Amino acid sequence: MRKNCYNWLIAILFLPGIFVMNTAAFAHHGGVSAAFGPGAPIETTSPLALGKGRFLVFQKFEYVPFEHKDHAEPKNIDSHTFFNTLVGYGFTDALSVYAGLPVSIKEQDVLGASEGFGDLGFTVQYGFKLGERDGIRGLYNYGTEDSYGAPYSTDDLKMSLIAGFTVPTGTTSNKDDEGNRLDKGMQPGFGSPSFTFGFAASKMLISHVTLTGDTSLQTFTENNRGKFGSEARFNIANGYEIFEKKNGVLSRLDLIGESNLLHITKDLDEEDEKQDASGGTILYLSPGIRATFGKHVSIGAIVKLPTWKDLNHESEQQGTEGLEDYRAIVTCSVSF
């Protein structure tokens, strides 16, 4: 009876990800999910903690080429490129904090490129687990056995609560080659604060196979140029360990498969009117791989493919989520 209740709890916690499936990066400006370490996914946020007194340096590269549309000629948005740097610190074994700064390059045909720093972001992650300690099964805060250097694939159900915000430090005044100020979606910064709340969970299903899921909501505040639509994400990822050699240079290799569902509400313009040709729902299917070197270096790579979409007034959109050719992502993390 007790075991059945435990299995039902696992099913309930993963239910949102199983049915809707999502991504963990800022859609308009790129972003960084807390996914690092052996067996962790790439885009889906991992509940793994850093551990008390440990640091993390995380770099993410993302390249996004867009489909060109006749209605947007000759000013099609060609591509977005993001470089995101994240630094994390473990205040306790359960509590990790992160600060991140993105840099973006956004290319638009005829009008040139928009380059600059994005908004400085801060994230707090609190980890806990449903597992066994001293022979007693229950809900516990993370301990030393749950930190970055510990085995990632354990039988415990690991979970974390996530909260974050950005401050408007990024560039919002870039102009095109004709001297006109670019649209807010082409600017590196948001121009106003945003807030994110989320939940992540992970469990080893069978030997060498780990399931990870997360869900989050990011909301944007208004400025004098309008307001970005809110973004809801539901992610689910499977990691399959295909190689492990604890004392080797390459200590572990994992195949990653993710499903990433993103729902964006409509943007508002300067007059608080909804921009009908914005927002929608997109499902990405994302194959990838993660390599771990020693205990503290991890490199991941994934390609996100827009597989299904339901965009608002799609015939009028271009250079937006769901209309990419693909999203190519490479990450590298180092802990110490």
From 169, 295, 296, 281, select the one nearest 229 (Cα to Cα). 281
If you search the block for the tokens 């572990």, which residue do you land on? 252
Beta strands in the chain (DSSP E): 55-65, 77-90, 95-108, 112-117, 120-133, 136-141, 157-167, 194-206, 209-220, 231-244, 250-264, 280-293, 297-311, 327-335
Q: Which two tokens stand for residue 316?
A: 């009028």
How confident is the model over 46-94, as pLDDT tens digits?
898 888 999 999 999 999 999 999 999 999 999 999 999 999 999 999 9
For the chain, what is the mean pLDDT? 87
How confident is the model over 18-41, as pLDDT tens digits?
333 333 344 455 555 667 777 789
If you search the block for the tokens 């059945």, which residue do you land on? 4
Could you give the percent of the chain with pLDDT greater than 90? 70
From 108, 119, 72, select the one nearest 218 (Cα to Cα). 119
Cα 256 from chain centre: 15
How confident is the model over 40-54, as pLDDT tens digits?
899 999 898 888 999
Contacts of 136 (CB under 8 A, 6+ apart): none
On the question of pLDDT at 163 being above 90, the answer is: yes
SS3 state at 250:
strand
What domains appear along the chain, each with residue ranges and CATH number?
A: 2-331 (2.40.160.40)
Bridge pairing between strands 280-293 and 327-335:
unpaired
Amino acid at 132: E
The pLDDT score that the predictor gives to residue 237 is: 96
Q: Do 278 and 312 form a contact (C-beta atoms < 8 A)?
A: yes
Distance CA 222, CA 191 (A): 9
Burial track 256-292 (b if 16+ CB lie within 10 A, e otherwise): bebbbbbbbbbbbeeeeebbebbbbbbbbebebebbb
Q: What are the distances in angstroms from CA 223 to CA 179, 184, 265, 270?
A: 22, 11, 17, 8
Q: Do 81 and 108 form a contact (C-beta atoms < 8 A)?
A: no
Contacts of 84 (CB under 8 A, 6+ apart): 30, 31, 32, 59, 60, 62, 100, 101, 102, 103
Beta strands in 92-193 (DSSP E): 95-108, 112-117, 120-133, 136-141, 157-167
On the question of pLDDT at 213 being above 50, the answer is: yes
Average pLDDT over residues 238-250: 90
